[in-house]
Amino acid sequence: QVHPGETALAFYTARNPTERPVIGISTYNVIPFDAGQYFNKIQCFCFEEQLLNPHEEVHMPVFFYIDPEFAEDPKMQNLDTLTLSYTFFEAREGLQIPMPKFAR
Protein backbone atom coordinates (compact mmCIF):
# COMPACT_ATOMS: atom_id res chain seq x y z
CA GLN A 1 0.00 0.00 0.00
CA VAL A 2 1.19 3.46 -0.90
CA HIS A 3 -0.44 6.62 0.40
CA PRO A 4 -0.43 9.91 -1.54
CA GLY A 5 2.81 11.79 -0.91
CA GLU A 6 4.78 8.70 0.15
CA THR A 7 7.62 7.41 -1.96
CA ALA A 8 7.68 3.73 -2.82
CA LEU A 9 9.98 1.25 -4.51
CA ALA A 10 8.62 -1.60 -6.63
CA PHE A 11 10.39 -4.21 -8.71
CA TYR A 12 9.27 -5.70 -11.99
CA THR A 13 10.72 -8.92 -13.34
CA ALA A 14 11.66 -9.49 -16.97
CA ARG A 15 12.87 -12.81 -18.32
CA ASN A 16 14.35 -13.72 -21.67
CA PRO A 17 13.07 -17.23 -22.48
CA THR A 18 14.99 -17.42 -25.76
CA GLU A 19 18.38 -18.84 -26.72
CA ARG A 20 19.65 -15.47 -27.92
CA PRO A 21 20.36 -12.09 -26.32
CA VAL A 22 17.46 -9.66 -26.55
CA ILE A 23 17.53 -5.90 -26.27
CA GLY A 24 14.19 -4.68 -25.00
CA ILE A 25 12.48 -1.50 -23.97
CA SER A 26 9.48 -0.88 -21.71
CA THR A 27 6.53 1.43 -21.71
CA TYR A 28 4.20 1.90 -18.78
CA ASN A 29 0.53 2.45 -18.17
CA VAL A 30 -1.47 3.56 -15.12
CA ILE A 31 -5.08 2.46 -14.71
CA PRO A 32 -7.50 4.07 -14.26
CA PHE A 33 -6.27 6.44 -16.95
CA ASP A 34 -7.48 9.61 -15.16
CA ALA A 35 -5.32 8.78 -12.14
CA GLY A 36 -2.16 8.60 -14.27
CA GLN A 37 -1.62 12.35 -13.89
CA TYR A 38 -0.91 11.77 -10.19
CA PHE A 39 1.64 9.00 -10.69
CA ASN A 40 5.21 10.35 -10.62
CA LYS A 41 8.27 8.27 -11.42
CA ILE A 42 11.44 9.39 -9.65
CA GLN A 43 13.58 6.67 -11.18
CA CYS A 44 12.49 4.05 -13.70
CA PHE A 45 13.89 1.53 -16.14
CA CYS A 46 11.23 2.37 -18.70
CA PHE A 47 12.09 3.91 -22.04
CA GLU A 48 15.71 2.74 -21.67
CA GLU A 49 17.03 -0.22 -23.62
CA GLN A 50 17.79 -3.28 -21.50
CA LEU A 51 19.96 -6.21 -22.59
CA LEU A 52 18.78 -9.61 -21.41
CA ASN A 53 21.03 -12.56 -22.13
CA PRO A 54 19.59 -15.98 -22.98
CA HIS A 55 17.38 -17.21 -20.10
CA GLU A 56 18.39 -14.23 -17.95
CA GLU A 57 15.91 -12.87 -15.44
CA VAL A 58 16.30 -9.34 -14.07
CA HIS A 59 14.48 -7.37 -11.41
CA MET A 60 14.05 -3.76 -12.45
CA PRO A 61 13.25 -1.05 -9.90
CA VAL A 62 10.70 1.75 -10.11
CA PHE A 63 10.94 4.50 -7.49
CA PHE A 64 7.75 6.59 -7.46
CA TYR A 65 5.16 8.54 -5.51
CA ILE A 66 1.51 9.48 -5.91
CA ASP A 67 0.99 13.23 -5.87
CA PRO A 68 -0.76 14.37 -2.65
CA GLU A 69 -3.28 16.26 -4.82
CA PHE A 70 -4.71 12.83 -5.68
CA ALA A 71 -6.48 12.84 -2.29
CA GLU A 72 -7.99 16.29 -2.99
CA ASP A 73 -9.42 15.48 -6.43
CA PRO A 74 -13.17 14.78 -6.14
CA LYS A 75 -12.98 12.48 -9.22
CA MET A 76 -10.58 10.24 -7.29
CA GLN A 77 -12.68 10.19 -4.10
CA ASN A 78 -13.85 6.57 -4.35
CA LEU A 79 -10.68 5.26 -5.94
CA ASP A 80 -8.37 3.24 -3.72
CA THR A 81 -6.44 1.17 -6.28
CA LEU A 82 -4.06 2.25 -9.04
CA THR A 83 -2.50 -0.34 -11.31
CA LEU A 84 0.92 0.27 -12.80
CA SER A 85 1.79 -2.10 -15.63
CA TYR A 86 4.65 -2.41 -18.07
CA THR A 87 4.90 -3.77 -21.58
CA PHE A 88 8.38 -5.05 -22.37
CA PHE A 89 9.10 -5.59 -26.03
CA GLU A 90 12.08 -6.25 -28.22
CA ALA A 91 13.70 -3.09 -29.57
CA ARG A 92 14.53 -3.36 -33.23
CA GLU A 93 16.33 -0.83 -35.38
CA GLY A 94 13.81 1.32 -37.22
CA LEU A 95 10.89 0.08 -35.11
CA GLN A 96 8.31 2.83 -34.72
CA ILE A 97 5.78 2.48 -31.92
CA PRO A 98 2.48 4.06 -32.99
CA MET A 99 1.07 6.75 -30.73
CA PRO A 100 -2.27 5.64 -29.26
CA LYS A 101 -5.22 7.58 -30.66
CA PHE A 102 -6.24 8.81 -27.19
CA ALA A 103 -2.80 10.45 -26.73
CA ARG A 104 -2.94 12.51 -29.92
pLDDT in tens, 33-78: 999 999 998 888 776 788 999 999 999 899 999 999 999 999 999 9
Cis preceding linkage at 32, omega within 30:
yes
Largest CA distance in the chain: 50
Q: What is the pLDDT of residue 43?
A: 84
Handedness of CA 18, 56, 46, 64 (dihedral sign): positive
Q: Which of 72, 68, 51 is nearest to 60 (CA)?
A: 51
* Cβ atoms of residues 72 and 37 within 8 Å: no
pTM of structure: 0.74
* Cβ atoms of residues 30 and 39 within 8 Å: yes
